[in-house]
Amino acid sequence: MNEPSKRDNQALTIHATDDNVVVLPCEPSQFRDFISGLLGRPQTIERIVRGPFEVRKSDIENLHHLISQRLTSQNDATFMSFQARVIYDDDSSVSLNSIEEFVSYAEVKPLLSQAVHVSWIYLLKFPSKSAPEKQEISISFQGGHSPFELEIGSISPMTRVYRSAPGTMRVRINHTDRTWGSDIDALIAGHLGTLVQSESGIRKFASEYSGWIGFLFSALIILASLSGVYSITSKLVDEYLEKAQTIASVGSESFAVLQQKIDFLIDIVASGMWTKYAFYTTGFLIISLVAAIFIGMFIGSMADIKRGSFVLLTVKAEKHRESSLRKLERNWLTFCGSVIGAIIIGI
């Protein structure tokens, strides 16, 4: 009864040369623990790195070497698989199953790469564990300016789908050792931070407070209009008051003087000057209010000029990046011109 079991256990340690035979990286006595490590439910660390970024093949290749060097130098690690999934603007995608395939792949169609998802699977032997356990690292780069559905963990049997915001890098680490997971998370987060393209101080300020900037200029135009109406009204009232005081100061009670006073009063009442003035003033204030709202909205929209994120894996993606950056510069110049124009309008 013991002989077949002994032979079965010995078969697990044979170094097979046939490509169709899978050699398990564990001793026969550790087989049950090894299977438990593969099928058990791992812990998960998730992180989102926000901000405009640019990622190319070389960046993902460097990330691959960084992870590989970290695991092989500090852990008893066995590399199992790598997968990259590139998503294009025509709703198509390409999956590549090795880093060599990914680096050498060149898309022949004129497609715009919008996102890329990369995953690594390693078997790690921790000092406190008796058998190697599966660890999975998934990173998704979402470019463009519109929400897009990304598949996270497409290698694993239970595929999870997220809706990622534009300009984000999402990291997910499935691990069985908390310390190791935290170290890898910090390593990857630090590397991804180098891919973020920082904006200048004034542009960042304008983008973050675009709504307040638009409201401020709307308020300034309205206040300038009210100030102008108040100033003109005050001058007009002072002018007529001075004229009335001059006529009233004449002490003569002759018919000519009385006629002059009566004509002055008739001119004010019968001409309807103040009624017309009130009508024109009301119309001017309404037009100023509408113009202030539209100008404020326009300035606010021009201030909210955020740099896009680019997944630069195709020639079309490179051209799209160049055109987007040129448009960004034009929008910034338009914003500066709008601010100057609003100030002139207010004056």
Residue 133 CA to residue 124 CA, distance in Å, equals: 5
Query: Which of 30-39, 44-53, 263-272 comes out lowest in average pLDDT?
Result: 30-39
What CA–CA distance (Å, rounded) separates 264 from 8?
A: 122
Question: Mean pLDDT, to the nearest integer, of 247-260?
Answer: 61
Contact yes or no for 150/164 (Cβ under 8 A): yes
Question: In this predicted structure, which of 146-160, 170-184, 263-277 has the lowest mean pLDDT?
Answer: 146-160
> 268 or 187: whose pLDDT is higher?
187
User: pLDDT above 90 covers what percent of the chain?
Assistant: 22
Site of tokens 């003033």: 281
Residues 217 and 286 in one domain: yes
Based on the domain organization, do 181 and 237 belong to the same domain? Answer: no
The two structure tokens encoding residue 163: 């809706």
Final residue of a structural domain among 153, 177, 197? 197
pLDDT above 80 for 255: no
Place of tokens 């008893």: 76
Statement: the pTM of the whole predicted model exceeds 0.85: no
The confidence score (pLDDT) of residue 158 equals: 32
Tell me what the mean pLDDT of segment 243-272 comes to.
62
Name beta bridge partners: 162.
150
CB 132 within 8 A of CB 62: no
β-strand pairing of 168-175 with 133-142 = antiparallel
Angle subtended at Cα 338 by Cα 333 and Cα 340, rounded to the nearest 5 degrees: 100
Residues 208 and 338 reside in one and the same domain:
yes
Is the pLDDT at 185 greater than 80? The verdict is: yes
Q: How far does Cα 285 stand from its chain's mean position?
A: 39
Integer Cα distance of 180 and 45 in angstroms: 11
60, 287 contact by CB (below 8 A) = no
Domain count, the chain: 2
Same domain, yes or no: 27 and 166:
yes
Domain interval for residue 127: 8-197
Q: Answer yes or no: is pLDDT of 154 > 50.
A: no
CB 99 within 8 A of CB 125: no
Check residue 13 and give its pLDDT.
39
Q: Residues 47-89: pLDDT tens digits?
A: 998 888 999 999 999 999 999 998 888 777 888 899 999 999 8
Question: Regarding predicted confidence, which is higher, 342 or 20?
Answer: 342
Q: Domain check: are 187 and 264 in the same one?
A: no
Amino acid found at 308: G
Q: What is the DSSP string of 105-153?
A: ----S---EEEEEEEEEEEEE-TT-SS-EEEEEEEEEE-BSS-EEEEE-
Confidence band for 25, pLDDT divided at 50, 70 and 90: low
Q: How far apart are CA 99 and CA 61, in angstroms?
A: 7
Tell me: the pLDDT tens digits for 113-141? 989 999 999 988 877 777 788 889 999 99
Between residues 3 and 99, the one the model is more confident about: 99
Same domain, 163 and 209: no
The reply to whether 149 and 213 lie within a common domain is: no
Q: Tens digits of per-residue pLDDT, 283-323? A: 888 888 888 888 888 887 777 777 788 999 999 999 999 98
Q: Among 197, 222, 254, which residue terminates a domain?
A: 197
CA distance 236 to 277: 10
| Residue 31 reports pLDDT greater than 60 | no
Q: Which of 36-45, 105-114, 288-297, 324-333 has the lowest mean pLDDT?
A: 36-45
Average pLDDT along the chain: 75
pLDDT at 235: 83
Q: E strands along the chain, which residues?
A: 43-50, 54-56, 76-88, 93-96, 113-125, 133-142, 148-152, 160-164, 168-175, 310-312
Provide CB contacts within 8 A for 106, sequence distance 6+: none
Co-location of 12 and 65 in the same domain: yes
Lowest mean pLDDT among 28-32, 45-49, 174-178: 28-32
Domain end marker among 197, 231, 249: 197
Residues counted in the chain? 347
What radius of gyration, in Å, describes the C-alpha atoms of the chain?
A: 37
In a domain, 2, yes or no: no
Same domain, yes or no: 192 and 243: no
List the one residue out of 312, 49, 42 whose CA is nearest residue 171.
Answer: 49
pLDDT tens, residue by residue, 1-23: 444 443 333 334 334 444 444 44
